[in-house]
Amino acid sequence: MAGRLSKKDIEQFIADGFIRIDNAFPLQMAEEVVDILWKDIPFERTDPGSWTEPVIRLGMYTQRSFTDSVNTPKLHAAFDQLIGAGKWMPCQSVGTFPVRFPSRQQPNDTGKHVDASFPGHDPANYFEWRVNVKSKGRALLMLVLYSDVSENDAPTVIYKKSHIDVAKLLYKEGDAGLSFMALASKLHELPAREEVYATGKAGTVYLCHPFLVHAAQAHKGSTPKFMAQPPLLLRDELTIADSGAGYAPVEQAIRLALE
């Protein structure tokens, strides 16, 4: 079937923790998204002198151009292959937008981290949200590019194969897992991993294992970067043992870490 992931793609996802999908959605859709976002940015689009902050954070958007961009047939087919048909929920929004601008100021959000997936004691406090070895609540991390992103345009830094290290760490913590901050504090203890930049044309989507370590960085280019990083939500939790029906690639990656 055209557009389906190859065996090599799936093997790369399991081993490295991510794959890149080019032309995951049309350029016109990306341009529509960026036009809407600019209306909520307190800078003048045509005046770089007005871009006085390194990051502007915008809320969740549910307009068709946003939701359609992460619900294309190409992406849905990939979700089925990586997670399993019927095991994930279609995105109803694309999450919040950290729009990054060229700036002399350093952004304050460039630390290594793993995105959390289920609430802790205070659901309103994201730093208390948690991650466990079955990735309760989250099937994938997605990096969705709505503008062209070169190495100078603050591409997200992906730490290749780091999902294996995180799975080993989380396994020791059982179903409770670790909070976002507790896990972040342990990442410096993990092995050094190759850095890969999430670059690409608008319409590119990186599908990442939920345990993949990643980080933002400062913008060194000239064009604002528009990227969303929504979760693909699970209907339940992943199965990493005693499955009678086999294991999806996202589960195989965790099992590989625990061998």
Q: Is residue 1 part of a domain?
A: no
Partner residues linked to 20 by β-bridges: 206
State the greatest distance between any 2 C-alpha atoms of the chain, in Å, as a whole number: 60
**Residues in Cβ contact with 23 at an 8 Å cutoff, skipping those fewer than 6 apart:** 74, 201, 203, 204
Q: Is residue 122 part of a domain?
A: yes
Q: Is residue 186 part of a domain?
A: yes
Specify the pLDDT at position 124.
Answer: 84
Q: pLDDT per residue over 117-136, tens digit each?
A: 998 888 888 888 999 999 99
Strand order of the β-sheet with 157-159 is 195-197, 157-159, 214-215
Which domain range does residue 40 map to?
7-258
CB contact at 8 A, 193 and 165: yes
CATH of the domain at 172: 2.60.120.620
Residue 104, CA distances (Å) to 51, 54, 58, 115, 241 in order: 10, 8, 21, 27, 49
Give me the count of residues in the chain: 259
Q: Which residues of the chain register pLDDT less than 70? A: 1-3
Of the CA atoms within 13 Å of residue 58, those in its CB half-sphere come to 23
**Residues in Cβ contact with 222 at an 8 Å cutoff, skipping those fewer than 6 apart:** 48, 102, 152
Specify the pLDDT at position 19.
Answer: 98
Q: Is residue 2 part of a domain?
A: no
Q: pLDDT per residue over 186-220, tens digit each?
A: 999 999 999 999 999 999 999 999 999 999 999 99
Specify the pLDDT at position 3.
Answer: 63
Dist CA 183 CA 165 (whole Å): 12
Dist CA 77 CA 37 (whole Å): 28
**Residue in the structure block whose two tokens are 């799975």:** 167
> Alpha carbon 166 to chain centroid distance?
15
Q: Is residue 221 part of a domain?
A: yes
Helical ranges in the chain per DSSP H: 7-16, 27-38, 64-69, 73-83, 162-171, 180-186, 249-258
Q: What are phi and psi of 44, to 5 degrees?
A: -85, 125
Number of compact structural domains in the chain? 1
Q: Is residue 149 part of a domain?
A: yes
